[in-house]
Structure 1
Amino acid sequence: MTRRPAPYTRKDEDSGERLDRHWNELLQELRLAQTGTQILFAFLLSIGFQGQFQAADQFTHLVYAGTLIASALAVALFLAPVSFHRIVHRQGLRDRLVIAADRLAQAGLAFLVAAMAGGVLLALDVVLSRPVAFCIVAGILIWFVTFWWLIPLGVRRKSDEVAVDRADDT
């Protein structure tokens, strides 16, 4: 299979400029993810100190613990590129920085999905029966996976197929 050239390659852009552009695009994405995840994390921290929560059953406490941990890990992964950048700044490692930051962001998204699902489960378990809450959360997980991974991967696959077809035509 013939791979298409790097997407959004500009003819007047050298590899350093392209890496800078990719880094800046990733930073914009991370700013959004970091803010939302940090708000979720702060909210989750406050729940554990509520009197009613302390009287909840073991299942609720386990879901809470898992959700809080997933949220903390997502925050860590979304902030990791900042630390990474500080450590490798001016070392000529921008290519590795962009690749590592991309992988850290992907992992952060996975933990964010887990934290979102746990948070929704905690809330729905209070107002609905547990089986109904599980079913709704399963649907929400499918929703996230579909829009965050399956659709983008489908678009990417289709784009690769079109690029191969174009290359075969030449």
Structure 2
Amino acid sequence: MSADRGRQETHEERADRQWAELLQELRVAQTGVQLLFGFLLAVVFQERFTELVDVDRTIYVVTVMLGAATAASLIGPVACHRLLTGRRMKAETVVWASRLTVLGLVLLFCTMCSTLLLIMRVALHNSLALWLVGGMALWFVLCWFVFPVWALARDRRLPTEDEDEGERS
């Protein structure tokens, strides 16, 4: 059985394809982050915000800061690309943009959990909130991290010499 050589593309073509794929992923993530961040920014202007106990206010502040960090990480690849365009650094840009995107996903996980914790604490006023958020955090970890890592572990193909480390498209 012959080894699958994958795509027959130049280094530049591969970088262009990877950039296009990354942009599609970022479009989805950025939209969700922007909606969530907008919601978080509006919360402080609600009348009930003044009724929050100190713990919930602290959770809110942490959540807003996490949301801002998430937005920065997921919008960062666009800034990288814009500042580096025309410098023949597409492959390097893809690597750094990919790293920022993974960081953004980790921060989004934290933002989502923090947001859920605040909402569940306000809605339930009991310790069930922590259990619900813990269960949902586990679900996020499974969907976003465990399943992809499991798929990689099950993939027995050897990378071809023209594939970047970790890529098997």
Q: Which TM-score band (shorter chain)?
A: 0.7 to 0.9
Q: In structure 2, what is the equivalent of residue 56 of structure 1?
A: 52
Higher relative contact order (CA 8 A, sep 6+): 1
Structure 1 residues 9, 54: CA separation in 2 closer, same or farther (over 3 Å shift)? farther
Deviation at 1:151, TM superposition (A): 0.8
Q: TM-score, normalised by structure 2?
A: 0.88
- 1:94 matches 2:90: yes
- Structure 2 residue runs without a partner (length 5+): 159-169
Number of aligned positions between the proteins = 156
- 1:67 matches 2:63: yes
- Structure 1 residue runs without a partner (length 5+): 165-170
- 1:25 matches 2:21: yes
SS in 2 for 1:10: coil
| Counterpart AA for 1:144 | F
Aligned equivalents of 2:157 and 2:71: distance in 1? 36
Q: Deviations over 1:52-93 (max 9, x none)?
A: 112210011011011111111110000001110111101011
Q: Deviations over 1:115-158 (max 9, x none)?
A: 11111111111222331000110111111111100110010111
Q: In structure 2, what is the equivalent of residue 42 of structure 1?
A: 38
Contact 1:30/1:105 (<8 A) preserved: yes
Q: Deviations over 1:29-49 (max 9, x none)?
A: 000100110110010000011
